[in-house]
Structure formats: C-alpha cells, structure tokens
Amino acid sequence: MLAVEAVTKRFSGLVAVREASLSVPAGTITGLIGPNGAGKTTLFAMISGFQAPSAGRILFEGTDITGEAPDRRARRGIARTFQIVQPFAGLTVCENIAVGAYLRHPRRAEALARARAVGTRVGLGDWLDAPAATLTVAGRKRLEVARALATEPRLLLLDEVLAGLNPSEIRDILPVIRAIRDEGVTILMIEHIMQAVMSLCETVHVLAEGRIVAAGAPQAVCRDPRVIEAYLGKGAAARMQEAADA
C-alpha cells in the first residue's frame, strides 16, 4: 500500500532522514521504531505531506504522491495522528471528531453522526458530549485517533499514541488498534513501548540517525546487533553477548 523509496530530508546543513526506504503491505500493522531524534516524526511528516522530501519519492497504492499536499493525501485515504495532542478545547469530544468527518461528510448532521459512531468505536462513547478539555491524557489519545479515523482512511499513521499512558491504559487501547486493522485500515505506527510493538506489529523498521538500519519480524529485530547499538550505544551488542556467554 505504501512505498517510501530512498527518501532524504535536509534542513540546511542537517540531514534528518537519509535515503530511507520502507514498505507497508495492505492489511498490516507495521512498526517504525528508533531512538529519540532518529527522524521518525520527520519521516511521518513527509509521508503525510506536511514536509517535502529533499530527495526520493513516496508511492501510495502505486501512485507517486511525493509532491501532493496534505489535503490531497487525506482524500486519497492517508490520515495521521500527532505526537502532541491538541484538541479544540472549546468544542465537545463529538465536535472535535466531526472536524475529521467533514472531509467526506460536508453536511453537519452527517458529520456529527459519523463522529458519534467513530467515537464509540474507540471507546469515547460516554464522553461524546463532554468538553474535550475535560478528557484525561488517555482520553485525548483516543480522541486523536478518532479524529484521524473520522476521515475514513485506508492508511493510518499513528505517532506514539501510547506515550504517557500507564500500563492499564496501554492494555485497554491495544485491542482498539487491532480492531481498526481488522476493519480494513492499514496501520504504520511509531512507538517506543516495545511490549506493544511486539504484540501488535507483523513487521518493524528501525530508524537510527536518519537511516533504516534493520527491518523484519519484531522478535528478530530486537536481537539485531545494529538495533541494540542504536538504542544502547557503541559496543553494547558485544557487551551483552559477553554477559550472556559468561
């Protein structure tokens, strides 16, 4: 469904992403992991159209969308969440979700009906008429997912939707993410919580210093020396092997 081909992003003298390539098959949950500052959110911004690559190209369902604006990509079926959740505090939860629903349902009544259905789907049914400002962190994360889902995407980009949640809240939202995939939405997710990555993702790509350094099944990727080095520093893989052999 999605192919990122040798994408590079430069900010003056800084190269944030360097010749990164990855693919996301339809009907899957694919993970994108890496240490802080690796370029993951920058890569998401290029996939969703908020930033233009300096080189390389992005294909969605076989069509080159590298130069398209975010709204065109949204209409094609690409939606994303944002790492910093910023709901419209003066609106209700339902009205916040309707902002996304207006993309395909221009009539207010239809957009609100769609918003209520999506809100219920992600576990916000009891808070739909409450002000968005009253939601907990976990509630705001669900709202961020709901606003993206309301655009009726085929590809959903989740940027650290589990960040800031406690173990109980993480456990409760994992089935929601699986259900979204099971209903036909392909997912590419950035995540630091490895238990969730191991549980949800069929394939994981690892970004370090702007480069894809490993890709494969989560269990194999977590044992890859390049991944251990990226997270724990130079020599970490050798030290861990020495400790295991001792």
Q: What is the pTM of this model?
A: 0.91
**pLDDT (tens digit, 9 = 90+) per residue, 157-216?**
999 999 999 999 999 999 999 999 999 999 999 998 888 998 999 999 999 999 999 999
Which tokens belong to 20?
């990164």
Is 60 exceeded by the pLDDT of residue 243? Answer: no
Q: How far from each other are the two terminal CA atoms of the chain, in whole angstroms? A: 46
Domain ranges, ordered by start, for the chain: 1-77+153-212, 88-152
**Predicted local distance difference test score (pLDDT) of residue 76:** 97
CA distance 193 to 178: 16
CATH of 1-77+153-212, one of 3.40.50.300, 3.40.50.150, 3.20.20.70, 1.10.10.10: 3.40.50.300
Q: Is 59 exposed, middle or buried (0-12, 13-18, 19+ CB in 10 A)?
A: middle
Give the helix/strand (H/E) hosting 228.
helix 225-232
**Predicted local distance difference test score (pLDDT) of residue 245:** 59
Strand partners, 92: 131
Cβ pair 110, 133 in contact under 8 A: no
Is 70 exceeded by the pLDDT of residue 238? Answer: no
What confidence category does residue 228 fall into, taking pLDDT thresholds of 50, 70 and 90?
A: confident
**Beta carbons within 10 angstroms of residue 51's beta carbon:** 18
Is 50 exceeded by the pLDDT of residue 240? Answer: no
